[in-house]
Copies of this chain bind each other. A is one copy, B any other.
């Protein structure tokens, strides 16, 4: 490969997360001489740094004949400034595609192949086309135990890893898809109050109306650096921090973006995704919350059991003791959907309010109980009782306040200025709640960016309801957003399905 052509870098301000795009004039001498076709993969270098970028031809004056327009991710990775020079050349063949083609034909992926693939993903050498092929191949040709373990290890190895001074380090994870399933702050508070160490990192919403980090942020700062997180955990035994900037299993974040587009992640990928994050975060004991339901990620009990077995078995290879709690995922948990509304549910449970949603409470107690047993804080069979006592005594609530203070100070979740009550149009029994559409209403109302926005649900499955009774309330921070959500509601009268009695 000869040295590349030197061009002037141009910052276009186009965001292409985790993937570099380069925009070059179709008539520029480099495109012509190198035969760079549309979507060619090219190496863009600046000093000692380089990225592999997908090429787009430009036919307008957007870039000059000697300019290379770069997307934000490429600009940042290369550390460019205005007028910087970059060199552009053909990308070398992506050797790690070869074992993926082998996997497609039915071969196994060995540890070396998986390491090469994940190294290439981490280096940005995989375009979304390559990522999609890798994800699809691993779903169509299921990964065996060794492949799951080797993939998990490769994903851990390209990222940061947090070490803790003492063990056990307990953790929990929910296998998503269920709105309002905000047990984490409650579980962390209970478990930490019982003396276990639980340094919890959570994510922000990507396509949902709220992630745990978004909800927690309405009660305390979550954007902690590693030093702050260590200080909080050292002092209080637990934290609820945003994990996105900690560099734990970074290729997981890259692959999840493509999995989401396809709505496809094979069991192997899911196992590696979860376990790599947890092992990298230093966990030794993990409880997994696995809701099963028609709109949840896992839709049958059989699939849940298989997944559970793989998680436990692969976890063991990393010294991680895992337990999976399979639960009912047929309707949203709690009442609120949206950061502040979910936080209010969490606070109601922690404060022992009479009106606290009992499903959120019992779900959190089941998870906390399992974690207390797993971490050795309660004998087998008595974890849930200890969890319930810790909650009822107010110790969990005290612990939660102390954690919030340690994270930078407790906050009161904001209350929306605008709301609209949606009423039942007929009388009957609630036979269906469309979680997906309720999430959409919450997002149209502004969640998660508008923290107070979202939906509060007044009904549960199986409950009787009379015509004109409140079904749910939509909250928004501006009249425009409220109107916007309500016009969607008006077009979707089937969000709550009623059976005539």
Residues of A participating in the B interface, judged by any CB pair closer than 8 Å? 1-2, 11-17, 23, 26, 32-35, 37-39, 41, 56-62, 72, 97, 101, 103-105, 127-133, 135-137, 139-141, 206-207, 257-258, 261-264, 266, 443-444, 446, 449, 480-481, 484, 487-488, 491
> For residue A16, which residues in chain B have a CB less than 8 angstroms away from its CB?
38, 56
Decide if A444 touches B484 in the complex (CB within 8 Å): no
Q: Do B137 and A33 touch across chains, with their CB atoms under 8 A apart?
A: no
Whether B133 pairs with A59 at a CB distance below 8 angstroms is: no
With the chains together, A39 CA to B259 CA distance in Å? 12
CA A207 to CA B36, docked complex, whole Å: 9
Across-interface contacts of A207 in B (CB, < 8 A): 37
Question: Is B491 within 8 A of A58, CB to CB?
Answer: no
In the complex, residue of chain B having the shortest beta-carbon distance to the beta carbon of A15: B57
| Distance to closest chain B CB from A451 (angstroms) | 14
Complex interface: chain B residues within 8 A of A131 (CB)? 129
Q: List 9 A-B contacts (CB under 8 A).
A: A13-B60, A14-B56, A15-B57, A35-B444, A127-B261, A128-B129, A129-B129, A129-B132, A136-B140
Q: How far is the CB of A295 from chain B (nearest CB, A)?
A: 13
A263 proximity list for chain B (CB < 8 A): 97, 101
- In the assembled complex, the Cα of A38 lies from the Cα of B34 at a distance in Å of 31
Report whether A58 and B97 are in contact in the complex, using a CB–CB cutoff of 8 Å.
no
Distance in Å: Cβ of A411 to nearest Cβ of chain B: 23
* A19 → B minimal CB distance (Å): 9
Q: Is the CB of B491 within 8 A of A2?
A: yes
How long is the Cα–Cα vector from A435 to B485 in the complex, in angstroms?
60
| Distance between A47 CB and nearest chain B CB, rounded to angstroms | 22
> Are the CB atoms of A34 and B444 closer together than 8 Å?
yes
Docked complex Cα distance between A266 and B262 (Å): 20
Q: Is the CB of B14 within 8 A of A62?
A: yes
Contact of A11 among B41, B60, B101 (CB under 8 A): B60
A1 to B446, CA, bound (A): 17
**Which residues in B have their C-beta under 8 angstroms from that of A132?**
128-130, 132-133, 136
With A15-B26, A56-B14, A57-B15: A258-B129 Cβ-Cβ less than 8 Å: yes
Q: Which B residues touch A140, using CB under 8 A?
A: 103-105, 136-137, 140-141
Contact A104–B264 (Cβ < 8 Å): yes
A206 CB, nearest partner CB in chain B, Å: 7
Question: Is B444 a contact of A33 with CB atoms below 8 Å?
Answer: yes
Contact across chains for A39 and B257 when beta carbons are under 8 A apart: yes
Determine which residue in A39, A58, A139, A140 has the highest number of CB atoms from chain B within 10 A of its CB, and name it: A140
> In the complex, what residues of B have CB within 8 A of residue A127's CB?
128, 261
